[in-house]
Amino acid sequence: MRLLPIGVRSLVWGLVLLLAACSTPTTSPSTQPSDGPSGISGVVLVGPDCRRPTEASPCLVPYQARLVILDPDGRIVGEVTSGSDGRFHIELPPGDYVIQPSPGGDPYPRAEARSVTVVAGEMSEVEVDYERGRG
C-alpha cells in the first residue's frame, strides 16, 4: 500500500475538515425544543381615549384588568391581572387556551374573549382591547 506524500495528506485532511465545518446540521436550532418558559404575555388596552379615533391612531391606553385563562373544555387554568401599564404575563404548559377578560363595569368597558395557542418554550404575545362604549 502506497501512502500519499505529507503535503497531499495535509491538503486532503484540510478539505475534509472544511467540508465538515460547512455542512448543514441534521437538526436545525428552530426544531429543537427550548428550555425557556412557555405561556402568554401581552398588554391590555382600553379605548377610545380621545375624541376622534382613527385606524392609524385608535386612541388606546393601558388598562388594568383581570383575565381568566380557560382550557378547551372551559375549565379555569389560571388568572392574571394586568399592571397599571397594561402588561401581563402568565406561564402555562403548551396547548390551546381562551383568554376571558372580566368585564370592567356594567356594561362597559368590555372585551371579547381571545383564543391563543402556547408553544413549548415560547411566550405567546397578545393584545386584549377593551371597549369603553359610547356615551
* The CATH fold of domain 34-131: Immunoglobulin-like (2.60.40)
Convert 65-94 to b/e letters by CB count within 10 Å (16 or more is b). bebebbeeeeeeebebebeeebebebebee
pLDDT tens column, 39-85: 999 999 999 888 777 777 778 999 999 999 999 999 999 999 999 99
C-alpha cell recorded at residue 24:
448543514
Specify the pTM: 0.70
76 beta partners: 70
Beta carbons of 53 and 59 less than 8 angstroms apart: yes
Q: How many CA within 13 A on the CB side of residue 27?
A: 4
CA pair distance 119, 103, nearest whole angstrom: 28
Q: How confident is residue 4, by pLDDT bands cut at 50, 70 and 90?
A: very low
